[in-house]
Structures are given as C-alpha cells and as structure tokens.
C-alpha cells in the first residue's frame, strides 16, 4: 500500500525557501480544510528518486501551485535544477505551475527555452510550448525569479515528469559502461579511480590501441572530464557521443585509436548527480573551484583526478596534449569554448586553432561565444589551474553547450537541442581531434592507392594476360587494406597553423584591453 503525506494550505506565511531542506516524497496537496485520502485531481508530487529535485509545493488555488526547488545539499546558493513527477491527475485537468525560487537572474527561459515533460504512456521527452512560459522577477517571493507555465493533464492514469533539462543519472552511466565492458573490446579499459564520499564509483576510461599502452611507447593523451557540475546533464550526452564514436568502426575513430590515448572521466561528481544537485557535491562544494588544493576527504574525486593528471604530466612517457572539461551553459546558445590567456603570444595564438577546427566541423559551434580569459573568479577551475601547471604544449579548454538550442542561418533560426544533438557535438569533438593532429602532422595523410586503369593494365600486360609478379586478386586486396582513410587536402584542417594564428590575431587584437 502506498502512503501519502497530505499537505493542506492556501499559501504560506513563510514564503522564503529556508524551509526547503529535502525532496518531496509522494506529497499530496489538497485544498484548505480537507481531510481524508486524496481524491482524483488532488495532485501528488514526488522527487524522492535519483536526480530528483523538488522541495516544497504551496496550494494557491485548485488551478495554481507554487513550487520550490530544493537547494543543493549543504549550499543554499544554487537553485536551478528541478526534476519531479505528478500523479493522481484528472483527465483534462488544467493547472499553472510557478517555480518561484530560481537563484539565477539571467536565464534562457527569456530566450524561448521551456521545461521538458514526459509521461508514463509517452516516454519521449518533449518541450512545453515556449509561448506559454514566462520568466520574471516576483515581489511576492522576495524578488526571486519565477518561471510560470500552464499545463493540461490529458490522461488520467499517467504519471507526468517535469525536468529542467534531459536527465542523465549515475545509474544510467554505470549501466552504459557495463554494457561496453561486456563487448570485451581490446581498445577499451575501465578502471576505478576512487570512490566518492558516498562510495560511488569514479570511473576512468582508456580508449586506444593496445600497442600504444606498451611500457616503452610514448603516449599522446587527450584527457576529457564531464559532470563536475551535476545539473549540467547535456555534458553527459556530449561525453557519451564522444565515447560511442571513439569505440566505433568509423575510419576516423580507428586512426585516432592508432595514434592517441583518450583518458575520459565521464562523471566527476557522482554524488551530486545522484542527489539531484545543480552545481555542488554532497558537502556543498563547487568542485570546479577547488583544483588548487582538493581535499582527499572532502573532494576525493577531484583529488584523485588532479593527482592522476599531475603524474601523467611528470611522466617522460606521456604528453598530455589536451585537457577538455565538458559543461552546459544556462544563459548562452550554441556550443563554444573557453580558453586561457598566456603572456607567450605563440602559445596564446596556438590555442585558437582547435576551436576554429571545431567550428568547421559542427554547425552548432560558435566562435562568437568562444572566449579566452584569465578571470580571477575562474582561478580554481580545471581549465585555469591546469593551463598554468601542465606542460606548455598542453591545451586546456572548457567545452560548453547550451541547455537550450543553437542558432543557424546567421542567428535567424533556433534549433532546440535534444539528446541526439548533444551526442553529435561529442562526435564532432572527436573529428576535430583528428583534424588537429593532421594539422600538426602527428597523423600523416596516407596516399590514396588507386586501382590501375585500363590503359595501365594494357601497358603492363601482353595479349590480354596479367603482368608477372603479384596476382591481380592479391593486388586488389592490398589496395583495400592500404586505402582505409582518404584525406581532402583542401579542407580547413589542411590550412597552415600560421595562417589560422594570423586570423586569430586580427579578430582578437584588442582582447588584452578588456
């Protein structure tokens, strides 16, 4: 038998969010003075599940409810992520939900973003029509920002789920990695880097050809992390798209595995993800501000990740070419990158090359939103810290992707992201790695071996017979083995590093004045 906690009020004298300390668990909201079991139409709210977040509901009228986001555990500053279910609805019941305690002033809700919804009979996430979504500062709620939207429940037996963005849970990640392990690929390895405060796994993935991992072989490493901020769920979809591509039989993936070692930490803050936090760990720390001195007991996942990178950087057998930290952005559109500012102009200009290649590969990537900075507020981030301590040849970036959409046709068309769109950006990240390594000559273009044409065959044979030496069938087999990847020397990736640096100087010549 399912038990419900019944809550009866016509609003609350205490409209602050101080009382919001935990997630609602099968919470029935009924009219004032009502007693007894909930009737149909008395909405039952629940967020007591993995990645769930809803801390409180106030009954305003039978048509309107005020909803409060639960702040991150041990940190009341961050109130953005929500993920909850509603059941016990009546067919064609219409309501207005006001989410009343957002902590951010700027939001993509002002640009057309809208919440996601699915139901038990329609499990595919859909966006609520943006024309019905309003984001505004409300004097009735301590001038917090409020997002209001109407909704009509159309199926009485359904359970409806609402979320800020596409959820991606810790359990989903573990299931995904376990499925890959069962394939027993010789170029994939999964190891336990450490356990979190709540004893969840911090996975380290290695993707490369086995011969690259031999003790006497020097490794070129691309190190990727995601989900240091647990509510930034698009980062996991981008990371999965990258992993799927690197494990595939695509010719580019094969060449990358032959030359590069990919080290991937797909979920850097597993406790925060599980708990439904937006930005912080279990203990209320923004891990991406603690790279300077992570604590082994308060920030164990960050501590283990940092020390692995430091060991790799100190090794004579490894070159860490890239560190890329994947995030999601709540106020800007498209995918874009943040890089560092260096006093050395050669190093400073060199880092502009990778984002330009990314822009050529991904229609949703924006060079306009890409920037390079040394903002003091970002000093404790992975990008800033590692950019100052890794080898001078290492490139450190934050890859951001919008929670909402990307613009095409010069900004006139907005295309909302879905799960596939985020994964496509991950695949394009891998292709950009290939273009960069071609540009820097680590991966040399292979000559295309064309079959002998009819005239050449006649020159090498007499009276219609095959020439002496290699049989014709063997020759064809040899050609198919060698001509596995064909490069276009006229593509953007074949431009010289110097010409790209000149373009960067012209477009960013005033960056030091900012």
Q: Catalytic amino acids?
A: 400
- 184 exposed, middle or buried (CB, 10 Å; 0-12, 13-18, 19+)? exposed
Tokens of 171: 């359990």
**How far apart are alpha carbons 271 and 169 in whole angstroms?**
10
Full strand arrangement of the beta sheet holding 134-137: 56-61, 64-68, 93-102, 145-153, 134-137
Tokens of 289: 């501000």
Q: Tell me the three state secondary structure of residue 444.
A: coil
Helix or strand run (H / E) with residue 432: helix 419-439
Burial pattern 428-467, b for ≥16 Cβ within 10 A else e, equals bbbbbbbbbbbbeeebeeeeeeeebeeeeeeeeeeeeeee
**How far apart are alpha carbons 222 and 243 in whole angstroms?**
12
Q: Tell me the three state secondary structure of residue 62.
A: coil
Q: Which candidate, 367, 455, 373, 435, places its Cα nearest to that of 407?
A: 367
Residues 6 or more apart whose Cβ sits within 8 Å of residue 361: 428, 431, 432, 435
Q: Which candidate, 22, 283, 17, 279, places its Cα nearest to that of 164?
A: 279
How open is the CA angle 197-198-199, to the nearest 5 degrees?
Answer: 90
For 242-298, give the secondary structure using H, E and C: HHHHHHCCCHHHHHHHHHCEEEEECCCCHHHHHHCCCCCCCCCCCHHHCCCCCCCCC
Strand partners, 95: 151
Tokens of 433: 């790695």
Strand partners, 65: 59, 97
**How many Cα atoms occupy the beta-carbon half-sphere of 173 within 13 Å?**
34
Q: Which candidate, 65, 127, 10, places its Cα nearest to that of 403?
A: 127
């Amino acid at each position: 038998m399912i038990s419900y906690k019944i809550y009866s009020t016509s609003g609350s004298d205490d409209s602050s969010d101080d009382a919001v300390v935990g997630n609602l668990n099968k919470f029935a909201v009924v009219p004032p003075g009502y007693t007894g079991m909930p009737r149909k139409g008395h909405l039952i709210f629940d967020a007591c599940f993995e990645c769930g977040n809803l801390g409180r509901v106030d009954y305003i009228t039978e048509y309107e409810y005020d909803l409060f986001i639960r702040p991150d555990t041990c940190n009341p500053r961050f109130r953005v992520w929500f993920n909850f279910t509603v059941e016990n609805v009546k067919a064609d019941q219409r309501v207005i939900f006001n989410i009343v305690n957002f902590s951010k002033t700027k939001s993509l809700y002002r640009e057309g973003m809208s919440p996601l919804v699915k139901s038990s009979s329609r499990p595919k996430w859909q966006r609520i029509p943006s024309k019905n979504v309003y984001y505004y500062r409300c004097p009735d709620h301590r001038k917090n920002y409020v997002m209001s939207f109407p909704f009509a429940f159309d199926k009485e037996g359904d359970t409806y789920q609402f979320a800020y963005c596409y959820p991606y849970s810790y359990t989903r990640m573990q299931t995904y990695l376990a499925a890959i392990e069962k394939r027993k690929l010789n170029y994939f390895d999964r190891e336990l880097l450490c356990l979190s405060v709540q004893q969840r796994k911090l996975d380290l993935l290695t993707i490369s050809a086995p011969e690259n991992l031999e003790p006497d072989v020097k490794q070129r490493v691309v190190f990727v992390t995601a989900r240091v901020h647990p509510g930034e769920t698009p980062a996991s979809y981008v990371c999965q798209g990258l992993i799927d591509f690197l494990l595939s039989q695509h010719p580019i993936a094969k060449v990358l595995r032959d030359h590069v070692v990919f080290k991937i930490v797909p979920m850097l803050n597993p406790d925060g993800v599980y708990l439904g936090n937006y930005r912080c760990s279990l203990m209320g720390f923004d891990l991406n501000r603690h790279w300077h001195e992570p604590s082994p007991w308060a920030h164990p996942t960050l501590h283990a990740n940092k020390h692995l990178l430091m060991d790799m950087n100190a090794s004579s057998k490894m070159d860490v070419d890239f560190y890329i930290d994947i995030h999601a952005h709540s106020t800007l559109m498209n995918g874009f990158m943040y890089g560092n500012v260096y006093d050395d102009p050669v190093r400073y200009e060199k880092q502009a090359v990778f984002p330009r290649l990314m822009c050529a590969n991904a229609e949703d990537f924006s060079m306009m939103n890409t920037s390079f900075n040394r903002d003091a507020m970002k000093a404790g981030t992975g990008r800033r810290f590692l950019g100052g301590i890794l080898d001078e040849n290492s490139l450190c970036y934050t890859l951001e992707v919008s929670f909402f959409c990307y613009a095409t046709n010069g900004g006139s068309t907005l295309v909302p992201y879905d799960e596939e769109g985020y994964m496509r950006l991950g695949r394009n990240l891998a292709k950009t790695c290939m273009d960069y390594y071609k540009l820097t000559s680590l991966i040399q273009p292979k000559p295309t071996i064309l079959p002998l044409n009819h005239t050449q065959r006649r020159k090498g044979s007499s009276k219609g017979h095959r020439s002496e030496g290699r049989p014709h069938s063997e020759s064809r087999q040899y050609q198919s083995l060698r001509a596995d990847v064909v490069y276009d020397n006229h593509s953007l990736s074949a431009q010289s590093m110097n010409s790209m640096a000149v373009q960067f100087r012209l477009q960013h010549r005033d960056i030091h004045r900012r």
